[in-house]
Amino acid sequence: MRSDRLLLLFFLLWSLCSLGDARAQSLQAEAKALLKWRDSLQDAHVLNSSWSFLKSRYGAPCQWDGIQCSSDKTSVVKISLQNKGLRGTLNYFDFAAFPNLAHFDLRGNNLNGSIPDGIGNLSKLTFLDLSVNQFSGSLPVTMANVTQISEFWISDNFIDGELIPSFFTNWRNLTRLVLFGNKLTGNIPLEIGQLEKLTRLDLAHNLFQGPIPSSIGNMSSLTSLNLSVNNLFGRVPSEMGKLSSLVELSLYSNQLTGSMPKALGNLSGLSHMIILQNKLSGEIPSEIGNLMKLTDLDLTDNSFLGSIPPEIGKLKNLVSIKLSFNSLAGPLPTSIGQLSSLVNLIINDNHLTGTIPQTIGELTNLDFLDLDTNSLTGSIPVQIGNLSSLQHLFLGVNLLTGTIPQELWKLSALIELDLASNFLPGLVPPSIGNLSNLYFLNLSNNSLFGTLPPQMSNLTSLGQLFLSANNLFGSLPSIICKGGMPFVFSASNNHFTGSIPESLRNCTSLYKLTLSGNQLSGNISEAFGSYPNLLRIDISNNQLTGELSPSWSGCHSLQRLDFSNNDIIGKIPGSISQLARLGLINISTNYITGEIPRGIGELSFLQYIDMSNNHISGGIPSEIGMLKNLQHLDLSSNKLSGPIPEELGNSTTLIRLKLSNNTLNGKIPSQLGNLAGLSMLLDLSRNVLTGTIPDQLGKLIHLEMLNLSHNKLIGAIPSSLAGMVSLTSVDLSFNSLQGPLPNNAAFLNASVESFIGNLGLCGGVNLRPCMPPKDVIQQKKSQTLEAIVTPVAAVLILLFLVTGTCKICQKTKLRRRNKNRIIVETSQGIDFFSMWNYDGELDYEDIVSAARNFSDDYVIGTGSHGSVYKVELPTGQIVAVKKFNQQGNDTLTDFGFRNEIKALTKVRHRNIVKLYGFCKHPHWSFLVYEYLERGSLANILSSNEEAKGLDWAKRVNIITGVADALSYMHHDHSIPIIHRDISSKNILLYPDFDACVSDFGTARLLNPNSSNWTWCVGTHGYMAP
C-alpha cells in the first residue's frame, strides 16, 4: 500500500517536471523566434544588449526589453517596440511561434516590405499597431482570421489595394480602425456597417472612391469618423443622422455633391463638423441649430447657396465658424452676436450683402474676423472697437463706405488689418500709432487722402504695408522696416513726393518693394542699399535719377526689377549677370547709354526684357540666344547697330520680339523662322535691314502681327508666308518689294498703308491686279485657235462622259453623306460637324464610339452646361470632348456652344486652349479640344499633396501664362475678347505647368468702333469686384 503511494507520488512529480519542461521549451522557442527576427534587422543595436539568453531565466524572454509574458510565465503575450528605430522587414518574424500573443506594437520604426500572410496565425491578437513605418503592398487576406482584434492601427505607411468585405464580417470586436495616410483604393465596403462596436474610424488621406456607404449609419457606437482627403463622391448619406454617439465628423477634400442632409441635425453630441473642399450645394439647413454641443464648423470651399440660417445663433458653444469660398448671400444674421464663445468667424469669398451687424461687437472673445471679398455695404460699425481680443481683421474687397471709425484704431492686439478695395475716405489718423503689434496693414485701393501721420513710426512690428491706389500725398513714412523681419512695402499709384526714406536704404530684410506711379525723386544710387532677400522691386513711373549701381548685384534673390519711366542715366552694369534668379528686367523709357552686357545671357530664368526707349548703343549680344525661357524681348527705340544675331533663333520660347526704331543692318536672319512660339509680335521696323524676306518666316504659323516697314528690303514677298495662318496684321510699307502678295488673308485684305512705298507690289483687295507674263499671253492666243477648230464630235463624247460620271458621283455622294454626315438636313434643322488637323477620315460616329456613347467612365469634369470627357480617337490621339447638355430649346447652353466656337476659331495663342472641331447635332452637341493631362489648376489646389509641389516658380509661370493670354485677348487680338470667367477651374496646365485658358462659353467679342456693355457673368468668388 505504501509502495503504491510512493509510486503515485513519483508519477505526479514526474508529470509536473515534464509539464514545466514543456512550458520552458515553448518559451525558449518563442525566444529563439524573437532572436531570429532581431538578427534579420539592419539596425537593431537597441535590442542587442537586452535580448540575450544571459539575461533570461531558463531561456525565457520575459525580462527582455519590450516583451511581456503571461502571468504564469508560459508564453509571450505582448510585444511593444514602438519608436526603437528598427529597420528591416517582418519576413523573418515567425507569427506561428506566438499562439498567445495579444498585443503587437511596432509603431514609429523604419520597417518596410509587405505584411506577411502569417499574421493570420495570431488568433488571440486584440491590439495591432504598425503605424508610422514604410510598409507597402495590400493587407493580407489572412488578417480576416484575426477575429479577436479590438484595435488596428496602420496609419502613415504605403499600404495599397482594396479592403475586402471579410475583414468587416470577421472583426466584430473592433473598436478602433485607423488606416490614415496610405494608398488604399476602391470603394469602402458596405459590410463596414457591421462593426457595431467601432468607436473610431479613420480612413483619411487615401485613394478611396465611390459613395459613402449608407450602412455606416448602423455603427451606433461611433464617436469619431474621418474620411477626409479621398476621392469619394455622391451625396452625404442621410443615415449618418443615426450616429447618435458621434462627436467628430470630418469629410473634407473629397468630391461629395448634393445638399447637406437635414438628418445631421440629429447628431446632438457632435462637437466638430469639418466638410470643407467638396462640391456640396443647396442651403445650409436650419436644423444645424440643433447641434448644441458644436464647437467647430467648417464648410469652406463648397457651393452652398442662400443665406446663413439665423438658427446658427443657438450654438452657444461654437468656437470657430468657417464658411469661406461658397455662394452664400444675404445679410450676416444679427443672431451671430449670441455666440459668446466664438474665437474664429471666417466667411470670406461669398456674396454677403447688407451691413455688418452691430451685434458683432458682442463677440468679445473673437480673435479672427474675416469677411473679405463679399458685397457688404454701409460703414464699419463702431461696436467693432469692443473686440479687445481681436488679432486678425479682414474686411477688404467689399463695398464699405464712410470713414474708418476711431474705435478701430484702439484695438491694440491687432496683428493683421485688411481694409483694402472698399470706398473708405478720410485721413489716416494719428491714432494708428496705437497698433504697436501690427504686422500686416492693407489700406490699398480706397479713397484715403492726405499725408501719413508721423505716429506710423510706432508700428515697430510692421512687416507688410500696403497703401497703393489711394490719393495719399506728401512724403513716404520716414521710419519703417524696424522689426528686422522680411519687409513688404507697396505704395504705388498715389501722389507721394520727395525722396526714398533713409530707413529703406538700411532695410536689409527688404523682401518686396512697389513704389510705382508716384512723383518720387532723388538719386537711386544713394537711396538704395544691398538687399540679399529682395525678390522684386518696382519704382517705375516716378522722377528718380542717378545710375544703375553695381551694388544691385548683391540682391541674389531678385526675380523682378522694374525701373521704367524714370530719368535714370549711365550704363547697365556688367555685374547684372550675378542676378541668377532674375526673371524680369524693365528699364525702358530712361536715358541709359552704353552697350547691353554680354553676361545677360547667363540669366537663365529671364522671361521678360524691356530696354526700349533709351540711348543704348552697340550690337545686340548673341548671348541673348542662350536664354531658353525668354518670352518677351523689346529693345526698340535705341541706338543699336549691326546685324540681328542669328542666335536669336535659339530663343524658341519667345512670344514677342520688338527691335524697331534702331539702326540695325544686314539681312533678316533666316533662323528667326525657328521661333515656333512667336505669336504676339515680330517688329523689325524702322531699321536699315537689307536683302530679301527669308522664306523661313513662313514657319511662324502662330504669329499675329508682323511689321517689317521702313527698311531697305527688296525682292518678292515669299509665297511661304501664306502659311502664317494666324496673321491678323501686317505692315511692309516703305521698302522696295515687288511681285504678288502671298495667298494669305492678312496680306490680301490689308490696307494700302500697309504696302505704301513699295512700287512693285500687286494683288489683294487694295492693290492693283497682277498682270500675267508675256509668254503666258502668247500661249493663250494659240490655245484660242485650237479651241475654235475642236471637232463637235469631241463635245458630244464629253457630254456623254459627263452624264455617266454625274450618275456615279451621285451614288458616291449619297454613301459618303450617310457615313460622314458633314451637313445633315433633319426635321429639327441643319446639324453641323466639323473637324480639322486630321486626315479627313474622322467623323461624328467615330467620336461618339470612342467615348462609348459618352459614358460616365470617361468624365473628367462637369460644369453648368455639360461635361468634359477624355477620349482616345481611332488615330491614337487623346482629346478632350466637351459635351453640352441637351435640354430642349436651351437658349443659354446653345449660346455658350456657339459663343465658344466663335471665340476660339479666331484666336491662336500658346496659352489659350486649342479647338480642334465641333458638332451641332439633335442628339449630342460637343466641342473637341486639345487634351492637357495635368487637368485644371483647381484640381491641383484641391489636393494637399499636389499643391505642396506647386512651388513659387511654377506659380509664377502659371500666372505669367494667364496674364499673357489675357493681354493677347484684350490688346493684341484684332477684335478684343473679354473672357468674363477667369477662375482656377478654367485654367488648364501642360506637363511643364504652362497655363492654358479654357472655357470661352461666356466670352465677349468687343466692337472697337462702339461702346460695349455686358451682364455680370462668371464664377462666384472669382468675378471682378
Which positions are annotated as active-site residues? Answer: 981
- Rounded Cα–Cα distance for residues 45 and 982 (Å): 59
CA distances (Å), origin 378, targets 331, 368, 410, 872, 1020: 12, 21, 21, 55, 22
Q: Which residues pair with 110 in a beta bridge?
A: 87
Helix (H) or strand (E) holding 683: strand 681-683
Does the annotation flag 322 for ligand binding? no
- Rounded Cα–Cα distance for residues 652 and 625 (Å): 9
Query: 559: how many CB neighbours lie within 10 A of its CB?
Result: 20
Q: Where on the phi/psi map is residue 646: left (φ > 0), alpha (ψ -120 to 50), or beta?
A: alpha
Say how many CA atoms lie within 13 Å of 1017 toward its Cβ.
16
Helices of type H across 417-517: 502-505
Mention every residue, 6+ apart, whose C-beta is less than 8 A from residue 369.
Answer: 345, 346, 360, 363, 387, 390, 392, 393, 394, 395
- CA nearest to 216, candidates 185, 235, 231, 207: 235
CA distances (Å), origin 42, targets 18, 80, 113: 39, 19, 13
Backbone phi, then psi, for 873, in 5-degree steps? -75, 165
Burial class (CB in 10 A: 0-12, 13-18, 19+), 997: buried
Query: 886: how many CB neighbours lie within 10 A of its CB?
Result: 14
**494 DSSP assignment:** S
Widest Cα–Cα separation across the chain: 154
The gap between the terminal CA atoms of the chain, to the nearest Å, is: 111
Backbone phi, then psi, for 578, in 5-degree steps? -85, -10
SS (H, E, C) 626-648: HCCCCCEEECCCCEEEEECCHHH
CB of 148 within 8 A of CB of 173?
Answer: yes
Helix/strand/coil for 900 = helix
Helix/strand/coil for 115 = coil
Query: 667: how many CB neighbours lie within 10 A of its CB?
Result: 15
Q: Which three cell numbers stand for residue 379?
A: 460703414
CB of 256 within 8 A of CB of 232?
Answer: yes
Query: 148: how many CB neighbours lie within 10 A of its CB?
Result: 17
Helix (H) or strand (E) holding 604: none
- Rounded Cα–Cα distance for residues 206 and 185 (Å): 7
Q: Residues 332-364, buried b or exposed e (16+ Cβ, 10 A)?
A: bbebbbbbeebbbbbbbbbbbbbebbebbbbbe
CB of 489 within 8 A of CB of 480?
Answer: yes
- CA nearest to 682, candidates 648, 642, 716: 648
- What proportions of the chain, in percent to the nearest 5, are helix, strand and coil? 30, 25, 50
- CA nearest to 34, candidates 95, 106, 122, 123: 95
Helices of type H across 774-928: 774-788, 792-820, 844-850, 891-904
- CA nearest to 125, candidates 105, 98, 103: 103
Annotated binding site: 883
Could you tell me which residues are annotated as the binding site for ATP? Answer: 883
